[in-house]
Structure 1
Amino acid sequence: MSYILGISAYYHDSAAALLHNGVVVSAAQEERFSRIKNDESFPVNAVQWLLKDNQITMADIDYVIFYEKPFNKFERIIETCIRFSPKGYSLFKEAIPLWLKDKLFQKVDLKKALCALPDGDKWNNVLLFSDHHLSHSAAAFYPSPFQSAAIITIDGVGEWATTTISVGRNNTIEHLKELKFPHSFGMLYSAITAFLGFKVNSGEYKVMGLAPYGKPIYADLMKAHLIDIKDDGSFRLNMHYFRFATELRMFGPEMAQLFGTPARLPEGPLDQVHMDIAASLQVVIDELFIKLARYARELTGERHLCLAGGVALNCVATGKVQKSGIFDAVWVQPAAGDAGSALGAALVCWHLYLNNARVPLAHYNPYLGPDTVQHEAVAYLDSVGAHYSVVSDDVLYDTVSTSLAEGKVVAWVQGRAEFSPRALCNRSILADPRGVELKRELNLKIKFRESFRPFAPVILEEDAQAWFDIQSSSPFMNFICTARDGVKEKIPSVIHLDNTARIQTVSVLNNARFYPLLSRFKAKTACPVLVNTSLNVRGEPMVLSPEDAFNCFMNTGIDLLVIGNVLLNKTDQDSPIYSKNNYALD
């Protein structure tokens, strides 16, 4: 019996993951419990939950492993300040007191936090540290179905590395090439995100969604002045335009001079120039990914590719790599960002530190979070005077599919929560994709977010190739594909301006609870597709508890809420007096 606890924390998207004899049994992001978007704090709630979920305490934990090496990161900050002296003094003045006060002693803080957990005084105090990009690589390779594969990780920065190429074979990972800070595509992407008025480390996906509305007229300008990309995918940033290495901001005034427009203010109007900048950045990242993929294939000789790191969540670029045919198959870790590195770190411990054998998975299960416990949901709903019915599966599927076909919007809460930033039909908002105005209605009246934001289609796996130009299944919503002729007219609310969609395919194997609902909807409408978006509103993490789900339901335009076999209709409820939050926008 061996338990390994992996932890990521103290930067953004903190999380915890648990292995039992090498098998991933539980994983969750702290934000789902704390309700703080991108929560960076020690994942105390996530760890307490997974201990409880597996009926163990810290006394049962054999190893704890942290996803990066804090002292190496501190070394990078010091060396960067010296290298960019005297410009680096501003960052030195701001960052060093913070590191000396808190971050430099993260090992001590981690042990204190771990010892404060249930039976923490009985924990054996074995605390290990993985390399940041090794954690990413392990999260990508070990859960993949490949016996061997090339591995590309690309993000902002770990300790020093920003982009790596490795090769995974059996239970080993060999690091082959890396690019070092400050040359970071993640930092470039975040700088443009900030320039466009969105929040760094959470708004990057908005830039991806904005890109199809623009034309890539600045792509050559970016490659001439901001980033020099070589044929092997290596690159250098022109630091004249950036400030992240010397100050606590992403870019300087030179960026506005380059684009001929001032930086957009948060919540400011979105003009065509902003759309064109986003489109241009997407062209640049597409080119970078293709060149990296070609070089990784040449370097490793492998036929399969695994991807991780926050930039790997750009499903437009990963879709281009998949479609390019450079590799026979491409696998992206659903939790590709730092949250997934908690899982990766635990796998580093099991396979590399302990040298245990690996059995490739035919099917990776991303549903690793808290389960939907129906009697707990009923108890909460009773406590707030909600009106509901508990129905059989057959009645549930029939009622919900009929409601969807009638244009109703459904909150769908089933089974264990996704360990992913994207809803994979266990904490989802569902709707009929055939309505022309549905996208606008969902964005403005339910999600309370920017009207340009796209929605994703979830489709029966057996129908996917007839509706979309897709080469294989896509159960984790990690690839963009093109709609076939006539599809946009059938399901306009999930097809983007450029005739693409971030598709999720569903089978009995990957979601036995959702598959029959979608099958029933198809039987009634001849449409095997539904809108699938995360069950949350702007600025909030995805819902986790029945209370979260009920608050979201009561304070948005959602018509039906389903929790397990519990069914609630908005028209049956009293005035929305139960909520702790006011979701309405000014």
Structure 2
Amino acid sequence: MHSHATSWHDGGVAMLAPGGEIVALASERVGDRRKHSWDSRLAYRFLRDRPAYGRHLGGPGDRFVDNSGGLRREDHHLHHAASTFYGSGFDEAAVLVVDGQGYRHDRLVTTSVWRGTAAGLRLVEELAASSGVFAAESIGHFYTAVGVLAGMGQLNCEGKTMALAAYGRPSHFLDRLRRFAGTRDDGRYRVDPRFTSVVLANTLGREQFGWAPPEPQDQVLWEEFVRARARPPVPGCFDQDDMDIAHAGQVILEEIVLGLARRAHRLTGSPRLCLAGGVALNCVANGRIVRDGPFREVFVVPAPGDDGQAVGKLLLEVKARGLPVDTTMRTAYYGPPYSEDEVEAAVAAVGEHVEHARLDEAPLLAAVVDRLCDGQVVGWWQGRSELGPRALGHRSILADPRRAGMRDHINAAVKDREWFRPFAPMVVEERAGEFFELQGPSPFMALAVDVRPAARHLIPAAVHVDGKARVQTLGREQDRRCHRLLREFGARTGVPVLLNTSFNRRDEPLVETPSDACRAFLAMNLDALVLGDHLLTKRPA
């Protein structure tokens, strides 16, 4: 047994179980179920308490690092690079890691380029902060500041900023932001740290971390942006200025990331690229790299953020020790398995509130297709949970993408979230090209691609305002049951596509256990829940 833990934020644990099975779990999924939980002990204790793993944890192969007392200085970007290169299955590749910041020894690194080969990972180039403990010159923190300027009132809202950007338009804000950030001819980038620091010092930095006010000569930058808007930014209230600011930040981010990708290609000469770091969660920028970049193949690990750090550490040890473990990520289903006894216990615990039946697969899927075609919204829980923040068919909410109003219904009545946030389509891999302009499979929902114009009227609920979709392709070998569900929905409707969003309540992480799924089902406006082989509906009040 070998186990590792995330030592930065977004805590988690990854371990190599007896028999060579990789198991990974983010701390936010268990314990107090707080999104982006830093405390890796939560995931460690959860796995330790499971009979299959408890007797093995704590032995000589246990490399658990307790980060509850603060973030630990480890080789942050190396762990990101290892997670994506060793997960890719490539024999050789360029590796690009872009995030807010992370230590390598005493250097606070923001961007790094690596070359991965059979011999391991070699650092080619890195960009680091000049001093201090906050890398205000990083593109990751710049994009966070853009989001705050566009009305995001919390940390970790970069995905919302990306969604809002699609509603923006070219404006004077783009020229204003270009004064502070942009790509260079050689692929490097510049970010004026004053912009990031001033925006955050007037908002989240002051409110959450007690930052001191900026110097008067820097505060002028904030006042200029506020005067350029129709009104000051109001967290959670989005107007056209917010949309235009988000759009401007997204344009600059894409230019910078594409420039970095081209630089990585020049420095390594590789036709393949692996991406990691929090910025690699920006699926629109990833799509630009695939469409406009110089690489034949691009791989994005399903957990490019810090919740993937523990996996990277584990894969480094697997490779260093020459262990006979296949590290290629053909699926993202790395969570711990749950027994039928656990499923039945969860159902029994809510038995007075639900009707339920345990069904064979054929009638179960037929019943789900019936409900989806009737416009119902179905919670879908199966097997081992996904690595990373995206639901990929094991912790999902599913709906019919043919209904134009379905996105607004789920945003408002089911998930209670912002109106502008899109949902991802899940499609059988063999027919993905009929609906989406893809250059290959996209199993981890890592790319935003154009929906083919002729298909947009078929799946209107899955098409964002810019005509794109963050698509997930699903092959039979990845998940036989979910693939069969898609095929049967397609046989009934002609559209082998389902609307797929994460199974979670507002401000909570993805459900993990069968009990989590049952509690969320009862608390949300869902019509039915599939829990393994069980179909649950709510008793009338």
Mark yes or no: TM-score above 0.5. yes
1:379-420: CA deviation from partner (whole Å, max 9, x where unpaired): 232233232111110110110011111111100000101111
Contact 1:461–1:507 (CA under 8 A) maintained in structure 2: yes
Look up the SS of the partner of 1:371 in the other structure.
coil
- 2:78 aligns to what? 134
- 2:400 aligns to what? 432
Task: Verify: 1:318 aligned to 2:262, yes or no.
Answer: no
Cα distance in 2, alignment partners of residues 245 and 57 from structure 1? 48
Cα distance in 1, alignment partners of residues 18 and 534 from structure 2? 36
Contact 1:139–1:345 (CA under 8 A) maintained in structure 2: yes
| Per-residue deviation, 1:243 | 2.0
Contact 2:87–2:328 (CA under 8 A) maintained in structure 1: no
1:423-463: CA deviation from partner (whole Å, max 9, x where unpaired): 00100000000111111100000000011110110001011
- 2:132 aligns to what? none
Cα distance in 1, alignment partners of residues 34 and 275 from structure 2? 27
Change (3 A) 1:28 1:392: same
- 2:120 aligns to what? 172
Contact 1:460–1:505 (CA under 8 A) maintained in structure 2: yes
Look up the SS of the partner of 1:514 in the other structure.
helix
1:323-374: CA deviation from partner (whole Å, max 9, x where unpaired): 125101000010000010111112223334x4x3787756533111133433
Which residue, out of 75, 87, 92, partners 1:148? 92
Cα distance in 1, alignment partners of residues 356 and 220 from structure 2? 56
Residue type matched to 1:17 in 2?
A: A
1:492-539: CA deviation from partner (whole Å, max 9, x where unpaired): 101011110000001111111211111110010111110000001220
Which residue, out of 531, 534, 537, partners 1:566? 534
- 2:109 aligns to what? 161
Task: Verify: 1:535 aligned to 2:535, yes or no.
Answer: no
Change (3 A) 1:255 1:542: same
- 1:398 aligns to what? 366
Contact 2:12–2:39 (CA under 8 A) maintained in structure 1: no
- 1:584 aligns to what? none
- 1:377 aligns to what? 343
Which residue, out of 12, 15, 38, partners 1:15? 12
Task: Verify: 1:292 aligned to 2:291, yes or no.
Answer: no
Residue type matched to 2:160 in 1?
A: K
Change (3 A) 1:130 1:562: same
Matches within 5 A, 1:422-461: 422-461=390-429
Contact 1:17–1:24 (CA under 8 A) maintained in structure 2: no
Which residue, out of 191, 196, 208, partners 1:242? 196
Look up the SS of the partner of 1:375 in the other structure.
helix
Change (3 A) 1:318 1:222: farther
Contact 1:16–1:47 (CA under 8 A) maintained in structure 2: no
Look up the SS of the partner of 1:458 in the other structure.
strand
| Per-residue deviation, 1:547 | 2.4
Residue type matched to 2:125 in 1?
A: K
Contact 1:469–1:484 (CA under 8 A) maintained in structure 2: yes
Matches within 5 A, 1:495-574: 495-570=463-538, 573-574=539-540
Look up the SS of the partner of 1:416 in the other structure.
coil
Structure 1 runs of 4+ aligned residues shifted over 4 Å read 20-24, 244-247, 249-253, 357-363
- 2:53 aligns to what? 54
Change (3 A) 1:357 1:387: closer
- 1:365 aligns to what? 331
Look up the SS of the partner of 1:567 in the other structure.
strand
1:39-84: CA deviation from partner (whole Å, max 9, x where unpaired): 11233344441673435333434141659xx9xxxxxxxxxxxxxx
Farther off after superposition, 439-448 or 252-261: 252-261
TM-score, length-scaled by structure 2 = 0.89
Identity of aligned pairs, percent? 35
- 2:23 aligns to what? 26
Cα distance in 2, alignment partners of residues 224 and 479 from structure 1? 25
Change (3 A) 1:172 1:244: farther
Which residue, out of 161, 164, 179, partners 1:210? 164
Cα distance in 2, alignment partners of residues 533 and 212 from structure 1? 19
Cα distance in 2, alignment partners of residues 376 and 199 from structure 1? 38
Residue type matched to 1:431 in 2?
A: A
| Per-residue deviation, 1:37 | 1.2
Change (3 A) 1:263 1:312: farther
- 1:225 aligns to what? 179
Q: Which runs of 5+ in 2 are unaligned?
A: 130-134
Contact 1:219–1:284 (CA under 8 A) maintained in structure 2: no
Contact 2:20–2:325 (CA under 8 A) maintained in structure 1: no
Which residue, out of 337, 351, 361, partners 2:305? 337
- 2:149 aligns to what? 195
Farther off after superposition, 242-251 or 300-309: 242-251
Cα distance in 2, alignment partners of residues 230 and 166 from structure 1? 20
Look up the SS of the partner of 2:433 in the other structure.
helix
- 1:43 aligns to what? 41
Residue type matched to 2:467 in 1?
A: N
Residue type matched to 1:187 in 2?
A: H
Cα distance in 1, alignment partners of residues 253 and 325 from structure 2? 33
Q: Which runs of 5+ in 1 are unaligned?
A: 71-100, 107-128, 576-586
Cα distance in 2, alignment partners of residues 287 and 24 from structure 1? 39
Cα distance in 1, alignment partners of residues 349 and 199 from structure 2? 52
CA RMSD, Structure 1 to Structure 2 (Å): 2.5
| Per-residue deviation, 1:301 | 0.6
| Per-residue deviation, 1:23 | 4.7
Equivalent pairs counted in the alignment come to 512
- 1:186 aligns to what? 140
Cα distance in 1, alignment partners of residues 522 and 408 from structure 2? 20
- 1:83 aligns to what? none
Look up the SS of the partner of 1:471 in the other structure.
coil
| Per-residue deviation, 1:256 | 4.7
Residue type matched to 2:530 in 1?
A: V
Look up the SS of the partner of 1:213 in the other structure.
coil
Cα distance in 2, alignment partners of residues 305 and 337 from structure 1? 17
1:236-272: CA deviation from partner (whole Å, max 9, x where unpaired): 22233232799644985623513612552222x2100
Residue type matched to 1:202 in 2?
A: N
Contact 2:462–2:499 (CA under 8 A) maintained in structure 1: yes
Residue type matched to 1:230 in 2?
A: R
Contact 2:84–2:300 (CA under 8 A) maintained in structure 1: yes
Cα distance in 2, alignment partners of residues 224 and 565 from structure 1? 54
Cα distance in 2, alignment partners of residues 136 and 256 from structure 1? 37
TM-score, length-scaled by structure 1 = 0.82
1:284-335: CA deviation from partner (whole Å, max 9, x where unpaired): 1111111111111111011100000000000000011011251010000100
Cα distance in 2, alignment partners of residues 360 and 370 from structure 1? 18
